[in-house]
Copies of this chain bind each other. A is one copy, B any other.
Amino acid sequence: MIRVLLVNDARLVRSVMAEWLRREADLRVYDTPWRGAAAMVRAVRPDVCAADLDHTAARGLPPLNELSPPAAGRRPPRLLVLTGADRPALLRRAMEAGALGYVDKKGSPDRLVHGIRRVAAGERFVDDSLGLGFGKAAEMPLTRRELSVLSLAAEGASVAEIAGSLHLSHGTVRNYMAAITRKTGARNRIDAIRISHGEGWL
């Protein structure tokens, strides 16, 4: 029996997906929104967390680490994510969090069932159609530091405020912004923010 925890903020979709998965005799299915997912992991002890990366907190990345907490004497749940090729930042985040499974939401629902079984067996499972997204994730030209500067700028912070929060000089922040504009091929700072949102980097 494979214990599966479905994580999805849209209850309407989540309930129907859970019910659909429960028809599989080898799956025991639980479900939760992102908020409270960590507590559900502790309570349910799933073999696999199948997490939809579209979550509703504005402009943030889903807290994937909460789904695989280190626990003494127990294997943490294996992580499978549902997303699209147009979300490279989410794919990159899932890779960094050590996800084993990557299911394309534009694919057939059967892929989710196969993916859960493969990941439960400790094998990698990646939908081919996500290839372009992984390519984009790998190509992302900005460093973590540059992304920090850009995300503060995108929140409306001035050069002085960015310098203050990141403990940098004004000149250094201006140099970062110039590098960001160049590396993203943007015309100016606002254009760099637009491009980075569009590519899913911010």
Contact = CB atoms under 8 A, between A and B. Distances in A.
Contacts of A153: 190
Interface string A133-157: 0000000000000000000011110
Given A59-B198, A86-B58, A156-B186, A112 B191 contact: no
A163 to B, nearest CB: 16
Interface stretch (A41-49, A89-97, A102-110): A102-110
B190 A109 contact: no
B9 A106 contact: yes
A11 B84 CA distance: 11
A156 B194 CA distance: 7
Nearest to A56: B86
A187 interface: yes
Nearest to A195: B156
